[in-house]
Amino acid sequence: MTPTLQLAVDLIARPSVTPEDEGCQALMMERLAAIGFNNEPLRFGDTDNFWSRKGDSQPVVCFAGHTDVVPTGPEANWDNPPFEPKIIDGMLHGRGAADMKGSLAAFLVATERFVEKYPNHKGSIAYLITSDEEGPAHNGTVKVIETLEARNEKIDMCVVGEPSSTTLVGDVIKNGRRGSLGCVLTVKGKQGHVAYPHLAKNPVHMAAPALAELAAEKWDDGNDFFPATSFQISNINSGTGATNVIPGTCEVVFNFRFSTELTAEILQERTEAILNKHGLDYDIDWKLSGQPFLTDKGALVEAAVAAIKNVTGRDTELSTSGGTSDGRFIAPTGAQVVELGPINATIHQVNEHVSADDLNALTDIYEAMLVELLA
């Protein structure tokens, strides 16, 4: 096996279900220390993180990722045990193969190769690794960034190893992400008997016209990089379970995925204006999971596009589709951010796997990016 595949196997064999790390970060730090990196373990709450850096000048090119993985589900449903990685017909199988221990291995081997060839490289190379990306993300990257910001230590360019590719490695890189704004709305009515509706107030009936208006609302038109903002109701809950009781409250959970055309504050104001127009009595609890971010141009995007072309011969597509990633915590500091990783077809699924050849190609792409940016 290549060095990248061997390291990926070593990482996958550690059952680091979020927020556990199971020694993955210690293994990475040992390899980084051997090539001149200064390691800084940073544990917050139940989460292991580390910041590691080689060099003390700008620009700082950072590799960011996570060692935690999602639960496997019933292991009996897997063709091969999820934490016993195995290459089958050219595919590396195991939980985390694609999301994202394969990328971590490619990061590290690419860095080792680059440092060997360019021991006196420009700028700095850094690693920001967490074990809290697949969980609530309260004690991971966000806390490391707060630590760096407090001492004015800046990341200039960041490659996040999330599985961005669709059908061929490097065919898509994410140069931004939509914002995510969640909400729990509780509409208040008055409980009563269904036979005496005049003595009650049905919060489901009261909420329905407002929800219909929210669902039909055109929030924006998007822009060249983002689709139009999306409003989606994910849950409605009300009632006692009895057919003859008008409920006293109705709880509605919904989410906005929004572009850079809007802010979270504008979405909140417009939503509450619609609720107020319908005369609802309600409580509302907003949660902003991440602001939208975009790196539309610059040295990092150019280096990624060129490296993919040089290694694979293919042109890449810049995209902002998909969910959120830890890039949402890094981009607000002013860093250029791209997500570049393997094919995402099997992430979080039973029998997660990734092409062994793709991980080797990804290693070459990361190394070529370092050459372009720091050689």
pLDDT tens string 336-370: 999 999 999 999 999 999 999 999 999 999 999 99
List pLDDT tens digits, range 127-145: 999 999 999 899 999 999 9
For residue 278, the SS3 value is: coil
List pLDDT tens digits, range 65-83: 999 999 999 999 999 999 9
Give the per-residue pLDDT at 373. Answer: 98
Find the mean pLDDT for residues 203-230: 96
> Which residues sit opposite 163 in a β-bridge?
none
Mean pLDDT of the chain: 97
> Which residues sit opposite 336 in a β-bridge?
157
- Which structure tokens are listed for 20? 């556990």
Share of the chain above pLDDT 70, in %: 100
Give the per-residue pLDDT at 176. Answer: 94
pLDDT at residue 290 tops 90? no
Give CA–CA dist 47/52, Å, rounded: 17
Find the mean pLDDT for residues 277-306: 95
Give the per-residue pLDDT at 322. Answer: 83
Give the per-residue pLDDT at 252. Answer: 98
pLDDT at residue 323 tops 90? no
Residue length of the chain: 375
DSSP assignments along 58-84, one per residue: S-EEEEEEE--B-----GGGSSS-TTS
Q: Are the C-beta atoms of 34 and 131 separated by less than 8 Å?
A: no
% helix / strand / coil in the chain, to the nearest 5?
A: 35, 30, 40
For residue 38, the SS3 value is: strand
If you search the block for the tokens 């390291």, which residue do you land on?
7
pLDDT at residue 287 tops 90? yes
Give CA–CA dist 107/111, Å, rounded: 6
Find the mean pLDDT for residues 79-98: 97
Helices (H), 51-200: 102-117, 141-150
Comparing C-alpha atoms, which of 274, 276, 275, 284 is closest to residue 186?
284
Would residue 133 show up in a list of annotated catalytic residues for this protein?
Answer: yes
List pLDDT tens digits, range 327-344: 999 999 999 999 999 999
pLDDT at residue 87 tops 90? yes
Would residue 364 show up in a list of annotated catalytic residues for this protein?
Answer: no
List pLDDT tens digits, range 9-22: 999 999 999 999 99
Cα distance from N-terminal residue to C-terminal residue, the chain: 28
pLDDT at residue 29 tops 90? yes
Give CA–CA dist 98/362, Å, rounded: 12
Question: Which among 20, 48, 68, 112 is annotated as catalytic?
Answer: 68
